[in-house]
Each structure stands twice: as C-alpha cells, then as structure tokens.
A and B are shown apart, each in its own frame.
Chain A
Amino acid sequence: MNEVLEMQCPVPIREYPQVLMAHGGGGRLMHALVERMFGVAFANPILDRRHDAAVLPASSHRLAFTTDSYVVRPLFFPGGDLGSLAIHGTVNDLVMSGARPQYLSAGFILEEGLPMEVLWRVVLSMRHAAAQSGVMIVTGDTKVVDAGAGDGLFINTTGLGLIEHSLTIDPRSVAVGDAVLISGDVGRHGMAVMAMREGLEFESAIESDSASVAEPVLAMVRAGMELHCLRDLTRGGLTASLNEIAEASSMSIRITEEAVPVRGDVSAACEILGLDVLQVACEGRFVAFVPEAEAERALAILKAHPVSAGAVRIGTVESKDGAEVVAQGVLGRDRVLPMPSGEQLPRIC
C-alpha cells in the first residue's frame, strides 16, 4: 500500500496536468489514463484481464447487488474524500444484507479541466478504501464531459457481495420487542462537510465518520447471531433510516433521544446552525435490529471493532401499528420523528 501511496501519478501529469476531452475519447489518451492510472491503482487478477466485462466465478450463495452514485462537495473533507466515500458507501450497502462484499465496479464522470493530480488523489483513496474493505474493483468506465457540464468529478460504484448465511436481514423480519442498536455516534459526516461550505464555515476537530462497517457486521453473522434488520445511516441521518424501516416493516419504533451518542462538538455545531442532529448525514454508522435476547451479545461484538466501538442500544420495536418513529426527549416527553422533508437548511433566525 505505502509504496503506491507515495508513488507519483503514473499518467504523465507534466504533459497533461488537467483532464482533456480526449481522456474520454477512446483514443491514446484515454488508454493511457485507464492503463496507467486506474489499471495500476486498482490492479487485481480479474481487472488485469482487461475484458469488456469482468468474468467472476459463480457461487451457490445468494448474491447482494447494489449501486450508488457519489457527488459530494467538496471532494476532500476532514476524514475522507469522494473516493473513499464511493467505496465505503457501496460496501456498506452490501453489508446491510449481511453480505461479504467482493467485487465493485467504478464509473467515473470527469469534467474537462479537472486537475489530474486531484483525480489521482481520489483514485489512491479508492484503492486504499477498497483494500481495507476487502473488495476488488474489477471493471469500470470513464467519461469526460465538457467544462461546465459537470462539477469536477462524479463516481458511481456498483457492488456484488456473497450472502453466506440463511437469515433474511430485511425490514420484514423486524419483530415487536426487537432491540434497536446503533453502531456509534451520529452526525459527524454531515457536519464535517458543512464546516467547509462557504458562508457557513467553522473550525472544529470534527472528521467524517466515513468507513466500511463490514468487519463488525460480518463478525455478528459469523457468530450465528439472529439479525433481523440492518440499515446504514446516510442522508437524512438516523431519523430517515428509522422511518424507512418503520414504514417497510409497519412497526412503530421507540428510541430514547438521550441514548443516541453525539459528540459534544457535533452537537454544538448543530446548535449554532439550528440543525437537528438526528437528521444529519453519517457515512459509517448503522442501526441493527436484533431480538432482545441477542442485544447484549451483539453489543459486545460491535464494541470489539474500532469502527463500532461506540455501539449502544437506543430503543425498542414497540408495536405493529402506527409505523411511527417515536423519540422520548430529554424531559421524558414523547414526540414523533417524521421522515425529514428534504435537505435541512441552517436555521438562523
């Protein structure tokens, strides 16, 4: 890993310091970009065959299959960047069905004029994140759009994972009495990105929580745990994820607001901007629904992994009617947490 991280960008940056239309044109420049940047950074036996399609071994296991596109701004933020996010996000989506992530595709949409050095940093970050998550990037695509027609760089990743268990990890498996666990503190990714927006800037030590959560989830699967449902927290934060599950399972979920871990600085940043931390985006956090009897064991496994060391129980699945998410507030009063309505805007006055 280190030797590659230290290595210079293999595409001759001095010749082409910025992406040109020709880098997507199918000719010599595109070939150089694919071979010498993507091919080198993502090298593995399947990608190295350079077929139009990656040829993968078949398996008798069920497959998990997911896709996501990544457009975050800025490209680099404290604790991560677009590249690591594009790996972690898709890996985590696979993991939420208890699958072992194996193969990813990577589609790049580059805007003409994107500094080649920026692309190289993002690609290296993807390489690093893929290695850490135990996945191979086995196929890909590159397109270049005219200057002004894109916003620097967009990435799509599609992932395949093997389901090596017989559970149905799905909102439909959620049952009354299930314990609701969260893998760590919330709101860090959203606030790390917010801190960099022109006009809203603030200084803090807040870093994105962007990470693969494959290890703790697969450890729970290996331990034979009866997992009912898993859901990663992304846009819309905890509130959105719980509402999705409540709706899909037709169950009401009750959480204790104070039990949800929030770092002091994240909570302070939300106070200043008037945001509800329960709706702020995360990129390395998930909720787990497990039977009451499994809750302690699940927490012990989660806490044994650094990425989920802050895991705690936040609530319980309460009833079969309502499909509502209810939070008990600091004063002991209940309120409904409705599905967030679009992006939260800073509330100043």
Chain B
Amino acid sequence: MILRIENVTKDFKVSHGPLARATHFTALKDVSLSVGKGESFGLVGESGSGKTTLTRLILQLDRVSSGRILFDGTDLASLSARDLRHLRSRIQIVFQDPYASLNPRMTVHDIISEPMEIHQDTLGLNARQRTDRVVELLELVGLGGQHLFRFPHEFSGGQRQRIGIARALAVRPEFLILDEPTSALDVSVQAQVLNLLHELQAKLGLTYFFISHDLGVIRYVCDRVALIYRGEIVEQGETERIFEAPESDYARLLLSAMPEPDPDRSPFRPPAASAG
C-alpha cells in the first residue's frame, strides 16, 4: 500500500461574526481507504462531498483534525518541513481547471521547469538539463519543443491540461492525484487526455488517485473505487463489482442517474423516433 488513509476527520470552524459562537462544519468524517502501488484508485462523489478536501489533506495544504495519512509507511503529519518538501516530489497533482492552474505570466518552459528548480537538491539538474527535460516532457504528453516559450493563454484547454500533466511529471513522482482532470474539457478531448494518462501509467509505473463525478470516466480508468457522500465513504471495492452489484443505496442511486449511452433510449427523443 503506497497511501493509507486511517480514520481521517476534517472539521472547519465557521465564524458567524464576533458575537455569535463559531460552529463546526465536518467536511470529512472517519474516512479510511488505501491505495496500492501501481493501481488506479477512483474517488467518486458529488460537489461538496469532500473530495477536494481530501486531496488538500493528502498534499498537506491543510491539516487533518484527527486520524492519520500514511504515505509509503510514514505519517505525513510527523514530517519536518524539509522532509515534507522532499516528499512533495513524490506526490503530484493535476488540477481540474487547466485555465486557472497555470500561471498566466509564466512561459510553458518556466511552468514545467519550476518543480525541477524547487527540487534541485533531489534531482540535481542544471539549467540546460532542465530545459532538455522540459522538451522531453512536452513530447511525452504530446506537445513539442516549439511550444517551449509560449504562454498558457495561447493554448486550448486540452493542450493546457497536457502542460499541467507535464508539470506534475517533471519531478518523477510515484503518486499522481488527478483532481477531475477531464471535467473541464470537451468530450473528444477528454478521451485523448484519458488515453494519454493510461499510456503514461504503463510507461512510468505511476499510481493514480483519480477523483471524478463522472462514473463513465471512473469505470474506464480505475481498478478500485470509493464512493464518498457528505464526507463519509459509503462504499468501496473493485470497480466492476460496484458497477455490477452495488451494495449501498447511494451507489445504486448514482448508477441509475448515469445517462444511457444508447441515444434511442434517451428521454429527450420522442418514442416514435425509436421505432425506426
């Protein structure tokens, strides 16, 4: 197990002004799950269910209220600032929104080489080697050296997401969090990006923690799935098992809400059309 989340709870204090007493909002409640090395683990939940909070906790952008998050056997909360920085080169994230997650004032070269600058002591690359590696990464994600000195606004959504993936891969991570990496993209581009992610996993031996609300995407990508609802894990297991024989009511509800891929069975089409 590369990532083990044990009974994690996250409370947020909600202030109602100086006179009222602050209340607590529980974003995650007693969440436990584990992700094996080299697998694709899916986390499914609707908006506000705590998916993003969980990623922020794994990335140590926020602290857990109680419970533990173990990466490769070490408790993240116990790490010193120095060790945490080192660990950050092993866990990387691809964000949902390819427009907001790239600094508009930096060139593609600077965006992708920045992680290598930050983790200079681990990677030990000089400026020239970093540039070579940026070109290599761009080619890996289906872009090229001609894009090196362009700015993010000159790219399409799918291309930007490829830049985001290249940035995440720059420090040779083992564990990649994919926070709805395709939800902001067109359907045709979604497939390209998913196929790219699949290729990369096979090539680089990555572990994926794939967050999505799109069950079709999850079924396409993930080996195992956990369903999260209002901060609690309601069901987890093999993807096929959950899609074929869901145990919880919530899983059944989600599956029944999946749009039918057969257009003839769409409720938007009049019945007469389906006769032919």
Co-assembled chains A and B? no
